[in-house]
Amino acid sequence: MTTHYHSPEDLDQLREYKELAGPEFAAYAKFDGSIGREGGAIDLLHRELIAVGVAISSQCPYCIQVHVGQAKKAGATKAQIAEASMIAAALGAGAAVTHGTLAFRLYDEA
């Protein structure tokens, strides 16, 4: 019986994804792997801090775990993780406020 949604054992099922949707999974894995690449216009530390912010915003516990670890390896400080988290929160709040304007428009049209 499942008592919570997120469990590290869930990641074991990625093998089944790979078996059932091989080409798509391979393309995803390659794209996902590009986050940690060196030599781009954005250095690795900042790539990982962006990934931390997006992971927090998208609420993916697995992504948060991976990218916080990768950011730390790339030299991120705890303060930088905190700021990335707060930036993600601010953008999420901004999106909620601007979607509120849609609610106003829909209210006026109803």
Instruction: Please tell me the predicted confidence (pLDDT) of residue 24.
Output: 95
Q: What is the pLDDT of residues 48-69, one digit of tens each?
A: 999 999 999 999 888 999 999 9
Portion of the chain with pLDDT greater than 70, in percent:
95
What is the identity of the amino acid at 81? I
How sure is the predictor about 4, in pLDDT bands with cuts at 50, 70 and 90? Answer: low
What is the rounded average pLDDT of the residues 1-29?
Answer: 83
How far apart CA 51 and CA 35 sit, in angstroms, is 8
Domains and CATH numbers, the chain: 38-109 (1.20.1290.10)
**Stated pTM of the model:** 0.81
Asked if residue 2 has pLDDT above 60, the reply is no
